[in-house]
């Protein structure tokens, strides 16, 4: 009977989750957005096995647990994870790899998730020989964090990987699946087979629609930097670690862009032997997944100075726009463009009011000609302002987004396709105007405010709200 288990599927698109193995009593919180729950078993039924399920409302939500119930692998605690940084009182200016929120130890606030109500349903499963061992319900949304990645893989799904929360502790729930149809979360670490990446922040995750794989590169864990490449196949849900040829240094807080199936990694922090301080890179490295090789291209022109925490947006499938970043003790607000056909960098002369110097900001492509910059860290404070850059006119426009009024840095911003369109009336005619961006939604998750607070909220803003004619 050891291989007997009870499983559940929450919602139409939810993956199977193990609730119980053998004889046990389990309490599970069902997300309020879920309308269908399917229970099933796997393995041989013994003569004494009996499964009962009870569905009830509760006045208060069950306390979230820091781990999954259904056989999640527990990482061994290392000295690195247990000890707080001995330089925890330093500011970000003294350490390239320091979270700006590390100087305080405030309790992590848990923000209300969209659609979440106070009363949470509970699902019970028990056996005739149950031990009555009570287990806490699994979390229904990710814990608060910064330095994570949120990677879209199709029109309705994004994958959250990694991050760090309060007191420089790495998240115990490092991987989640977001379903944008109802904005629900599913803990996803145990869904995938193979060796999962170590806990980390400052890494990059990028999805290749042709191979339907997510590439995770680099990042840091306390004083350790990574230069490994992990691949998650979203069809088989299997992790693999690449045995890559060529050389690439360990990097964190770099940018990673995909062009013609290759990964373009620019900048970032790399470690130096003590007592020399860690340095920033100005190099461009390219990873070819087909050959599993790293190489450095020949690049001409006026390239950006060394930096980390910058953003990079691929526009019109032929240009990468690099903005901002940090190289102790200076923050930047300059703009560079890499022509992917000529492999030539050039400084971009902009007009309009630009964003102030910052790093660890969020960025997202809105259309063929526009991308967005939001928030970030200026060396002293987290920011909450929002700007749109137009590559046709090389102009900045500051926009007011009330939903994004909370200062945050190290957060994730992505855009997802939706079924809505922006329409308005012109001379009694119904006209569809979306500037190539209609039907898209901006999703903002997590981050920190440099005051010891970390967020787990998910904010949605329709892209149409950012255009004056869609007000």
Instruction: Convert the pLDDT of each residue in 144-174 to its tens digit.
Output: 999 999 999 998 999 999 999 998 899 999 9
Instruction: Convert the pLDDT of each residue in 288-325 to its tens digit.
Output: 999 999 999 999 999 999 999 999 999 999 999 999 99
Q: Is 26 within 8 Å of 19 (Cβ atoms)?
A: yes
> Nearest CA to 111 among 450, 361, 403?
403
Q: Token pair 């981050």 is at which residue? A: 447
Q: Is 78 within 8 Å of 135 (Cβ atoms)?
A: no
DSSP category for residue 200: -
What is the secondary structure of 338-361 as a DSSP string? EETTTTEEEEPP-BS-PPPS-BS-
Return the pLDDT at 89: 34
Q: What residues of the chain score a pLDDT lower than 70?
A: 1-3, 12-14, 20-26, 31-35, 46-52, 54-138, 418-438, 468-471
Return the pLDDT at 32: 64
Q: Is 217 within 8 Å of 189 (Cβ atoms)?
A: no
The whole-angstrom separation of Cα 259 and Cα 267 is 17
Q: Is 337 within 8 Å of 345 (Cβ atoms)?
A: yes
- CATH architecture designation of domain 149-470: 6 Propeller (2.120)
β-pairing, 344-347 with 300-301? parallel
Return the pLDDT at 44: 73
Return the pLDDT at 222: 86
DSSP category for residue 378: -
Domains in the chain: boundaries: 1-86+109-138, 149-470
β-pairing, 311-315 with 319-327? antiparallel
Q: Which residues contact 47 (CB under 8 A, 6 or more apart)?
A: none
Return the pLDDT at 102: 42
Q: Is 24 within 8 Å of 84 (Cβ atoms)?
A: no
Return the pLDDT at 309: 98
Token code pair at residue 190: 């145990």
For residues 221-250, b (16+ Cβ closer than 10 Å) or e, as one string? Answer: bbeebbbbbbbbbbeeeebeebebeeebbb
pTM listed for this prediction: 0.71
Q: Token pair 């045995």 is at which residue? A: 243
Name the helix (H) or strand (E) containing 82: helix 79-82
φ/ψ (deg, to 5) at 114: -55, 125
The whole-angstrom separation of Cα 26 and Cα 18 is 10
């Amino acid at each position: 009977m050891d291989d007997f288990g009870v499983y559940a599927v929450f919602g139409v698109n939810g993956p199977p989750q193990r609730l119980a193995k053998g004889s046990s009593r389990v309490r599970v919180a069902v997300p309020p957005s879920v309308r269908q729950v399917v229970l099933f078993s796997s393995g041989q039924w013994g003569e004494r096995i009996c499964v009962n399920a009870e569905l009830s409302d509760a006045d208060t939500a069950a306390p979230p647990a820091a781990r999954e119930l259904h056989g999640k692998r527990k990482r061994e605690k290392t000295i690195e994870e247990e000890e707080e940084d001995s330089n925890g009182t330093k500011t970000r200016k003294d350490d390239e790899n320091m979270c700006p929120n590390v100087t305080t130890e405030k309790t992590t606030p848990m923000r209300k998730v969209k659609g979440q109500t106070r009363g949470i349903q509970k699902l019970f499963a028990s056996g005739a020989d149950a031990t009555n061992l009570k287990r806490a319900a699994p979390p229904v949304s990710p814990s608060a964090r910064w330095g994570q990645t949120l990677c879209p893989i199709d029109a309705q799904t994004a994958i959250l990987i990694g991050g760090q929360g309060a007191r420089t502790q790495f998240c115990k729930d490092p991987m989640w699946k977001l379903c944008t149809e109802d904005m629900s979360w599913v803990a996803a670490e145990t869904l995938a087979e193979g060796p999962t990446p170590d806990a980390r922040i400052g890494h990059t995750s990028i999805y290749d629609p042709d191979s339907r794989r997510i590439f995770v590169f680099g990042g840091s864990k306390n004083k350790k930097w990574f230069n490994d490449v992990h691949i998650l196949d979203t069809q088989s849900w299997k992790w693999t670690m690449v045995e890559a040829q060529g050389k690439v240094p360990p990097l964190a807080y770099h940018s990673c862009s995909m062009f013609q199936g290759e990964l373009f990694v620019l900048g970032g922090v790399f470690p130096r032997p003590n007592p020399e301080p860690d340095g920033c890179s100005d190099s461009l490295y390219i990873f070819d997944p087909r050959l599993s090789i790293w190489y450095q291209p020949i690049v001409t022109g006026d390239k950006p100075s060394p930096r980390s925490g910058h953003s990079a947006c691929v526009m019109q499938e032929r240009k990468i726009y690099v903005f901002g970043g940090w190289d102790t003790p200076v923050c930047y607000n300059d703009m560079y463009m890499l022509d992917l056909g000529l492999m030539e960098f050039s400084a971009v002369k902009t007009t309009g009011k630009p964003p102030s110097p910052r790093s660890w900001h969020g960025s997202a492509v809105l259309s063929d000609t526009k991308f967005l910059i939001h928030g970030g860290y200026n060396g002293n404070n987290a920011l909450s302002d929002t700007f749109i850059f137009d590559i046709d006119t090389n102009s900045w426009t500051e926009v007011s987004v009330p939903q994004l009024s909370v200062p945050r840095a190290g957060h994730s911003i992505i855009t997802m396709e939706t079924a809505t369109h922006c329409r308005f009336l012109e001379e009694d005619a119904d006209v569809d105007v979306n500037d190539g961006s209609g039907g898209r939604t901006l999703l903002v998750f997590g981050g920190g405010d440099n005051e010891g607070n970390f967020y787990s909220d998910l904010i949605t803003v329709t892209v149409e709200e950012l255009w004056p004619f869609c007000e």
